[in-house]
Amino acid sequence: MNILITGGAGFIGSHIADAYLKLGHRIVILDNLSSGKRENIPSKAVFYEMDLLDPDVEKLLRDEDIEVINHHAAQISVVRSVTDPLEDANINIMGSLKLLELAKSRGVKKFIFASTGGAIYGVQDTFPADENHACRPESPYAISKFSVENYLHFYKTAYGLDAVILRYSNVYGPRQDPHGEAGVVAIFCQKLLKKTQPVIFGDGEQTRDFVSVLDVAQANATALNTSLTGIFNVSTGKETTVNQLFRHIADLAGNEEAPRHEAPRKGELQRSVIDSGKFQKNTDWNPTVSLQEGLRGTFDFFASQREK
């Protein structure tokens, strides 16, 4: 298939491109390189340095005969969305809406959308949260993701556009951007490699559900299944405290220095963990990368980057 990956030069998108190429698909990447990196782009992929709102996106879809769109291009910083919600909405909502209009007009067969798990559910009532949990987005970033989910429901109902919405927990791994939802992994790795003292906001007992980008890439490969549509959590369903995470990475770095604790950040969730049982029951996907294995691969990646 001819597959367009928006944001394919980014952390998650580039891993998905690798996975799709291994399956024999023809991959076209659209990325404006505002946060993505040219070196992340697989050599076998066709690359367009272009913004989602560029009028030439329509020509790209036509010329490349795009059959499936995997939409990962986004403004990914929760903090930035709070300080500039207009920019966040322009990129994440208007950019996505334009892409949906083009998908409709071009007869695209399937639209795969990268959404968010922890941020979209907000303060949880149950642990882990499944897809039926109430959505209480508390940041413009999460609101924009939820808005696109609702637009996808409209395009399915009105125009028959099949969609798979993947609500990620905290994704980490090689090529990670420190500004994303799971940026703490990249930050800890970089700080410890530089032998500078990392900072933990609050007491460090807040929990997150960390899922490897390699498992996320396989989830996106699974989402290509022609019969699969709907909303699915992609996660491990396991909670890890920030203190535990730091200890794992500090052990990899051979660092015995304690982190510095600062005041907790306003609005930060104390617990966040989501259930991927629905996705596992409907597909053959399961998270296979353990936290220890994933952190080792991530730490080794950042160490190799420092050696270049």
Q: Could you tell me where the DSSP H helices lie in the chain?
A: 11-22, 57-63, 78-83, 85-89, 95-106, 118-121, 140-159, 183-193, 213-222, 242-253, 277-282, 291-307
User: Confidence class of residue 272 from pLDDT cuts 50, 70 and 90?
Assistant: very high
Show the tokens assigned to 177.
């951007």
Across residues 117-123, what is the average pLDDT? 93
| pLDDT score recorded for residue 178 | 77
Catalytic residue among 48, 121, 141, 155: 141
| pLDDT score recorded for residue 180 | 61
Residue 308 has pLDDT above 70, yes or no: no
Q: Are 82 and 36 in contact (CB under 8 A)?
A: no
Which residues lie across from 166 on neighbouring strands?
114, 232
Task: Please tell me the pTM assigned to this model.
Answer: 0.97
Q: Concatenated DSSP letters for 99-136?
A: HHHHHHHHT-SEEEEEEESHHHH-S-SSSSB-TTSPP-
pLDDT averaged over every residue in the chain? 96
Domain boundaries, given as residue ranges, for the chain: 2-170+212-235
Lowest mean pLDDT among 53-57, 236-240, 268-272, 283-287: 268-272
Residue 255 has pLDDT above 90, yes or no: yes
Residue 181 has pLDDT above 60, yes or no: no
| pLDDT score recorded for residue 23 | 98
| pLDDT score recorded for residue 182 | 60
Across residues 301-306, what is the average pLDDT? 93
User: Confidence class of residue 268 from pLDDT cuts 50, 70 and 90?
Assistant: confident
| pLDDT score recorded for residue 79 | 84
**Pairwise CA distance, residues 283 & 281, whole Å:** 6
CATH number of 2-170+212-235: 3.40.50.720
DSSP helix/strand/coil, 241: strand
Residue 116 has pLDDT above 90, yes or no: yes
| pLDDT score recorded for residue 179 | 67
| pLDDT score recorded for residue 69 | 98
Residue 189 has pLDDT above 60, yes or no: yes
Which of 16, 20, 1, 122 has its CA nearest to residue 71? 16
Show the tokens assigned to 145.
């993701």
| pLDDT score recorded for residue 146 | 98
Question: For 15-54, how does the pLDDT look when each residue is reduced to its tens digit (9 = 90+)?
Answer: 999 999 999 999 999 999 999 999 999 999 999 999 999 9
Across residues 112-136, what is the average pLDDT? 96
User: Confidence class of residue 9 from pLDDT cuts 50, 70 and 90?
Assistant: very high
| pLDDT score recorded for residue 52 | 96
Question: Could you give the percent of the chain with pLDDT greater than 70?
Answer: 98
Examine the residue annotation and report whether 141 is marked as an active-site residue of this protein.
Answer: yes
Residues 6+ apart with CB under 8 A from 252: 192, 295, 296, 299
